Each structure stands twice: as C-alpha cells, then as structure tokens.
Amino acid sequence: MDATSLRLTCLVGGVLAAGAADAVTLPEDQAEAMVHVYSGGGVTASGPALLVRKSLADRVSMSASYYLDMVSNASIDVVTTASPYRERRDQVDVGVDYAVRDALITLSTSSSKEPDYTAGSVNIDVSQEVFGGMTTVTLGYTRGTDKVGKKGYGFIDNAKHWQYRFGVTQILTPRWLASANVEAISDDGFLGSPYRVARVFGAAVPERNPRTRSSRAIKLRTIGDIGDGPTRAAVRAEYRYFWDTWAIKAHTAEFGYSRYFGDAWLADAFVRFYTQQHALFYSDNALTETAYVSRNRQLSSFNSVGLGAKLSRSFGRVQGKYEVKANLSYELVRFKFHDFTDSRTNSPYAFSANVLQVYATASF
Amino acid sequence: MKMRLALLMVSLVVASLLGACAAPQPWVKPYERERLADPIMQFSRDALSDKHREHVRVVREGARGATGVQGGGCGCN
C-alpha cells in the first residue's frame, strides 16, 4: 500500500467513523410566488410560478409547485421556415422529504404538458451527512418518459430518459465550502423536433437525429465568506465540463458576489460564460448525404455570456410568525453562433436575451 | 518459526494502519458554522428562481446535468 492509498483509506475510515452526528434538519416551511419573463431572439416566454412547502411532525416536509410558460415564438427557425405561433406549457411538481437520522430522502414527481409534448418524471434523491456534519453526500436517480406529438397527427413517438447523479459538499473552514457533482444522462427515443428542418445541398429536409444519446457532466463549485466585521459578503466560483456521445463538448464558468447592505438589503451580481462545440451530425448546410443531419441551433457551435444582478429586500422576521422578502432579478445574455447562418443577412447569427424574475418569498 | 515471524510482522503493519485511521477528526465544529448558515453561503437560495433559470438554459444549450439541484427537471421543450 503506497502513501497515497494509505491516506485515502484513512480518510474514508475516518469519515465513516465520524458518521454519528446530529440529525439532519428539514427544509424550512416556505411559500414563493414569481412572475418570470424570457425575451430574446423572437421568443417571449412568461408566466407565473408558485411553490408551497410545509413540514409535518418534524420528520416529513411536503412541497408542491406550479409553473406556467406562455410562449410566443417567432424565432429565426420559425420565421424562415414556418409561421410564428403561440402555445402554453403547464408544469406541476410534487415532492416529499423524509428525515431519518443524518439522511434526507426526497421523492418527487414532475409533469409538464404542452399541446404536442408531454413529459413526466419520478425522482429519488438521498442526502447523507457524514464526518460530523462537515461532509454531505448526495445520490439521485430520475426516470422520465416523454410523448412527442405533431399538430394534425397526434402523438407520434416517445422518449425515455435515465439520470444518475452523485455529489459531495465539503466544509473546508468556518468560512469556506466546496462541492463536486457528477451526472450521467441516457436518452432513448425521438430526440428532436418533428417540425424542424435541416439543410442539405441548400434544400430543406426534415431533421434526422440519432435515437440514443448518453452524456456526462462534472461540476465543481466553491463559495467563501469574505465579510469583515459588520459587512457580510461572499464570493463563489463554478465550473462545469460536459461531453456526450453526439460529440458535443461544453464548458461553463460562473462567478458571483453577494453582499448585504444593512440588515434589510441583499445584492448579488454574477457573470456566466458558456461555450460548446457542435454535434457530429450538425450542419449549417450539409454537402454530403449522411444518416443523421440537424440544423438545430442548440447543437451548433456557439458561446454565450450572461451578466446578472439580483436585489432582495427583507421585511424582517415577525417573532414566531414569518419573514417576507421581495426579490428582483435580471440577466442579460448575449448568444453568438459560429456555424449557424442567418439566411436573411447571410452572416453568423447572434442575439441578446433578457431574463427577468420578480418574486416574493415567505419563510415560516 | 519463519511463518510466525511473518504473521507477527503482518499483524504489526495492520495494527499500525488501523491506528493511523483514527485521524482525521472533523476540524470545523458545529459552533463554528454560524457564517456557513447565512443564506449568502448557499449555492442555491430560491427554488423557483433556480428552476426558471435552469429551464431557460437547458432548452437553449447542448449541455445539461450536474447542476447540484435535486430532481431531474423535465424533458420539455
């Protein structure tokens, strides 16, 4: 056994030995109400969202949320190959958390409905505190099934999804923590859009996607308290690497800063960089006949930069009752495509999007 | 005799390994975690806000997963 393996064995042994810690705490009772707006590239999606969480008997916490998207779509694909349309998407999530000693077991289900697409999933997540509460280990699994439809034809196909996730969060010092997460996702079925067209030798043809996809992602995060005296402030940094069997590789980096102004105001600022390389079968205009071909912008080579800010105002905690907060969040995102041509101008496509959230939270 | 000596040596090595496993101990005590409990030290603060932002990204980007958020989201468009 070399020195490294010995250290590793000892760490694992120590972590297991220190497993007996205080019981895990349930998420606190909460109600949230939000209005959200996304506007960019000819698409506007907006609507309300609600969430309620309530605990029962100190052991169980139940949550339910509703989310509505009213979509008006006149994106570049739609205006150049079809006609603008409006549609609505309703999503309902229900979950239950159960605390057992140092573990929190979460069972939840999600259902989303659009006129021509329905998606349902069941999730199980287990979170376990070890090493005197300094380390939190999480494991999760999701099974999803979608029905894919086409206007005038009804539901024509389906897609199945399997998600496996694992994470570790570690307290490093009284002011610093870090986490690592990995997730593997496999898909099987119809993985494109029945409306979208690809371009082959300049002619529009229905896109052809593989019926399977498998992806991996790893994310590292760290957050540190940099407050001094009465000033409370924190900085965070995140990085994610993604790769899949369609040959997409993506990097995401995000940096954030949070600071209190007095007891009532909390301000956040963040910047996010995203870049990806296109799928193997993506083509702006294919010049060879291949089994698979797509001109889906989501699979192209592009990068985006997001700049965001959030302001929260606390109206104080009423003793023995609740605390109410009002929040305003805004993000400006700039997308720049490298191999997706805007056929109206014959130049690479680019657009800016605005993401706005106005919401109130009440903790009991 | 040789066999016994070897057994003794192995026992000593195993004992010393197990002894070393007593460490490490948790070095940040519960009473030192006040700053870590502040909302600004949480990776995810408001569930609905995160869900919306995540949905906006997942329908536009090729990458997905490992967000650190529980639950799998939906495969919706």
Q: What are phi and psi of A10, to 5 degrees?
A: -65, -40
How large is the C-alpha radius of gyration of chain B?
25
Which residue among A134, A193, A246 sits closest to B26, beta carbon to beta carbon? A134
pLDDT tens track, chain A, 364 positions: 454 444 444 444 444 344 334 578 899 999 999 999 999 999 999 999 999 999 998 899 999 999 999 999 999 988 888 889 999 999 999 999 999 999 999 999 999 999 999 999 999 999 999 999 999 999 999 999 999 999 999 999 999 999 999 999 999 999 999 999 999 999 999 999 999 999 999 999 999 999 999 999 999 999 999 998 888 999 999 999 999 999 999 999 999 999 999 989 999 999 999 999 999 999 999 999 999 999 999 999 999 999 999 999 999 777 767 899 999 999 999 999 999 999 899 999 999 999 999 999 999 8
CA distance linking residue A235 with residue A220, whole number of Å: 14
Interface touch B71/A123, C-beta < 8 Å: yes
Indicate yes or no: CB of A171 within 8 angstroms of CB of B28: yes
Domain of residue A245, residue span? 3-363
Chain B residues closer than 8 Å to A45 by CB: 56
- pTM for the whole thing? 0.89
What residues in A contact B67, CB-CB < 8 Å?
A: 181, 183, 219
How far B4 CA lies from chain A's nearest CA (Å)? 22
B17 touches chain A (CB under 8 A): yes
Number of domains in chain A: 1
**B74 vs A119, A140, A227: nearest CB:** A119
Q: How far is CA A201 from CA A97, A271, A285, A339, A351, in A?
A: 54, 40, 6, 16, 26
Shortest distance, CA A345 to any CA of chain B (angstroms) = 22
- CB contact under 8 Å between B76 and A244, yes or no, is no
Query: Which residues on A lie below 8 Å from B26 (Cβ)?
Result: 18, 131-134
By C-alpha distance, the chain A residue nearest B73 is A110
Contacts of B10 (CB under 8 A, 6+ apart): none
How high is the ipTM of this complex?
Answer: 0.91
B73/A110 CB distance under 8 A:
yes
CATH of residue A305's domain is 2.40.160.50
DSSP A92-129: EEEEEEEEETTEEEEEEEEEEEETTEEEEEEEEEEEEE
Inspect the interface and report whether the beta carbons of A218 and B66 lie closer than 8 Å: yes
